[in-house]
Structure 1
Amino acid sequence: MIVVHDIFVCKPGNASKLAKLFKEMMADSDEFVEVMTDVTGQYNRVIMVSKFDNLTAYEKSWEDQMKDEEKMKMMKEKMAGYHEMYLTGSREIFRIW
């Protein structure tokens, strides 16, 4: 199993807004697990967690998402301006043993 953390360091005052937006956008995704915000450590972080059976399934999910033009259009509309909410981001991919 693969667990993916998409990590965003938000501008002050935007972490909860971005977390809510991600939660709404990913609600119908089978791979989506949860959205987390920091309690300790670096401030203003939002981490979106997803699970996949393997790396092939992870890659296929991206391909499937890009093929669904209607879903991509809706996502672009809802996510418009989200880049203004964060400063930087990264992705971590873990294998579960």
Structure 2
Amino acid sequence: MIVVRDIFQLEFGKAKEATALLKQGRDALKRDGYPTERLLVDVTGDYYTLVMESTFDDLAAFETSMGAVGSSEAWQDVYKRFTPLVRSGRREVFRIVE
């Protein structure tokens, strides 16, 4: 099993709007096999951080879901509105040990 964390540094003051958009996008992601279990926001550290956390059986399952999401019109609509709210981002992938 792996955990994927998509970490976004948002533009100043855009956390509520970005979080609302990702909540809308979760349904589209789940339909396409990208199971977003949690949305996390910063308490300490860099301000305006939003994390989307997902779990997959393995890297192959993650790659398959990425392909499906890339062709999803519903997700692309959310993504177009989400990207202007993001200053930068990165992805972390972890193997679950226990």
In structure 1, which of residues 53, 65, 73 is the aligned counterpart of residue 57 of structure 2? 53
The amino acid across from 1:3 in the alignment is V
Structure 1 runs of 4+ with >3 Å offset: none
Could you tell me how far apart the structure 2 residues matched to 1:10 and 1:74 are? 22
1:51-94 C-alpha deviation (Å, 9 max, x unpaired): 0011111111112334xx5xx22222233232210110000000
Could you tell me how far apart the structure 2 residues matched to 1:87 and 1:65 are? 22
**Structure 1 runs not aligned, ≥5 long:** none
How many residues are paired up?
93
Asked if residue 73 in structure 1 is aligned to residue 77 in structure 2, the reply is: no
When residues 64 and 80 of structure 1 are mapped into structure 2, their CA distance, relative to the original with a 3 A threshold, is closer
1:11 maps to what in 2?
11
Q: Could you tell me whether the CA contact under 8 Å between 1:12 and 1:44 is conserved in 2?
A: yes
Q: TM-score, normalised by structure 1?
A: 0.85
**Structure 2 runs not aligned, ≥5 long:** none
Could you tell me how far apart the structure 2 residues matched to 1:62 and 1:90 are? 15
After superposition, the CA RMSD in angstroms is 1.6
Asked if residue 94 in structure 1 is aligned to residue 74 in structure 2, the reply is: no
Q: Could you tell me whether the CA contact under 8 Å between 1:36 and 1:46 is conserved in 2?
A: yes
Secondary structure (helix, strand or coil) at the match of 1:92 reads: strand
1:20 maps to what in 2?
20
Q: Could you tell me whether the CA contact under 8 Å between 2:25 and 2:74 is conserved in 1?
A: no
1:11-47 C-alpha deviation (Å, 9 max, x unpaired): 1111121112112211351521111110111110000
Q: Could you tell me whether the CA contact under 8 Å between 1:19 and 1:36 is conserved in 2?
A: no
